[in-house]
Structure 1
Amino acid sequence: MQREFVRPVVKPGEMFDRFIGDEDPAVKVAAAHDTAWALLDRVQSMADPELVQRVLRLVEAEGIDDIARLWSNAHEASLPGLLWRLYLLQTVVSGDPQQASVMFDHGNLVITTIDPIVAGAQLPITPESVRVMCDEILRGAFTGDFAIALERAASASEVFAAGAADLADSREATDEVQATKLTRQALRFSEIAEVFRSGARAWRTGLVH
């Protein structure tokens, strides 16, 4: 009789703080690279809309923990490391699209760069529009220019970071715990934005491995 397996639940807001993997990061390096490149190559070569949709929903089918175990220990400048972060961004947003839309909306109002335009979220900012934006970014990574997808992901992350920081400032006097949480999220978004930007430059120069 097959034993029923119940997948542990990981709250989206905790994902930036919880990169799950083996104690020895080198154990799955080869598998991480092989699967990442094979997945990208298969999607690009087949150009099958149904396959693309399955890849977009990979986390829903396999679970964020399983994807993390395979790719999260890969170097951030590698293909598996970058794909992991793209899936992570999508999962964080889709896990709480309401909060994500609030952060993005605030960021859109206070940021002084062109990042909101590059990110490409449809106005007005809604939970659905930020979810669709992240889906489109991930889709572009597999069906378009990978570097452009990374640049969009970087810009989206910068807007989220600006929004989280702005919300943290406004709540610091009344809710210190929430303000601290938002500040931490802003930092995580800023860090992942820089990884995406560096990854885009590396991809264009052939340095992603």
Structure 2
Amino acid sequence: MRDHHRPMTPGAGFFDEIDAGDDPAMLQEAADRAATLLVRGARGSADADVADRVLHLAETEGLETLAELWAGSPADSLAGSLWRLYLIRAWVYADPAGVAAQFEAGRAQAQVARVVAGVADPPGPDELRAMVDDVLRGITAGDFADVLLRASAFARVVTTGRASLDAGHDETVRLLTLAEQLESAAHLEMRRELA
């Protein structure tokens, strides 16, 4: 005959960890839902105000807020792709003249990518800002795969320019990685597998 014991209960501190912070799975789910709503819900909207709100999301909500929401998301997800797109825009706006010089240095060697990126000729700071804004407006008005391919092509041209200017190896490698991630995400989107 077996004695029955009361089940052991954890001490009061056992559940403290649960209440002390946010559930990472729930945060990731919220990030994924927000990205899906932004990309899938806004697509096809003819409302210029919607496109403008999407374009200026990082400014109105803060890049830090978007980082908290999406920076940890995998590159092959909608959330990770959006983070990379807003990061490119923030970078161009932070140093338009420097990025324009790097784009100019790379465009002769990356002809196809230059054409896909769609930057006006000559590519000055204003033209680069207009291009990244146009790319982000494409989230609501265009094909998201095209948005990702344009951003990837732009990053490739700048990467080529940075390499020719010896503009910092580590940052150049990171930018090339970002370009490859955006291109890979675009191919997933074309296959309707980007979520």
Q: TM-score, normalised by structure 2?
A: 0.84
Q: Percent identity?
A: 35
Deviations, residues 183-203 of structure 1 (Å, cap 9, x unaligned): 222111100110011001101
1:122–1:35 CA distance, 2 compared to 1 (3 A): same
Output the amino acid matched with 2:135.
Answer: I
Spell out, residue by residue over 1:54-92, the C-alpha distance to the aligned partner (whole angstroms, 9 max, x if none): 110111111111001001111111101101111111111
Quote the Cα distance in structure 1 between the aligned partners of 2:79 and 2:121: 32
1:40 counterpart residue number: 39
Q: 1:166 aligned to 2:164?
A: yes
Cα drift, residue 53 of structure 1: 0.5
Match of 1:17 in 2: none
Alpha-carbon distance between aligned partners in 2 of 1:151 and 1:25, rounded to the nearest angstrom: 30
Dislocated runs of 4+, deviation >6 Å: none
1:8-157 to 2 correspondences below 5 Å: 26-44=25-43, 46-109=45-108, 111-157=109-155
**What CA distance in whole angstroms lies between the structure 2 residues aligned with 1:100 and 1:124?**
13
Alpha-carbon deviations, 1:3-23, whole Å to 9, x = none? xxxxxxxxxxxxxxxxxxx99
Consecutive unaligned residues of structure 1, counting only runs of 5 or more, are: 1-21, 169-178
C-alpha separation in 2, matches of 1:188 and 1:28: 26
Change (3 A) 1:25 1:76: farther
Structure 1 124/187 Cα, relative in aligned 2: closer, same or farther at 3 Å? same
* C-alpha distance in 1 between matches for 2:22 and 2:115: 40
Opposite residue 94 of structure 2, the aligned amino acid is G
Q: Aligned-pair distance for 1:45?
A: 5.2
Q: Which structure 2 residue ranges, 5 or more long, are not aligned? A: 1-20
1:187 aligns with 2:173: yes
Change in Cα spacing, 1:75 to 1:91, as seen in structure 2 (3 Å) is same
What TM-score, normalized by structure 1, do the two folds share? 0.78
CA drift at 1:108: 1.0
One-letter code of the match for 2:28?
A: V
Cα offset, 1:38, TM superposition = 1.3
Q: Aligned partner of 1:64: which letter? A: L
Q: Do residues 206 (structure 1) and 178 (structure 2) align?
A: no
Distance 1:143 1:112 in 2: 27
Instruction: Please tell me the root mean square deviation across aligned C-alpha atoms, in Å.
Output: 1.8
2-structure distance, mates of 1:161, 1:66 = 27
Give me the whole-angstrom Cα distance separating, in 1, the residues matched to 2:182 and 2:44. Answer: 24
Alpha-carbon distance between aligned partners in 2 of 1:72 and 1:150, rounded to the nearest angstrom: 17
Q: Deviations over 1:129-151 (max 9, x none)?
A: 11111111111122101111111
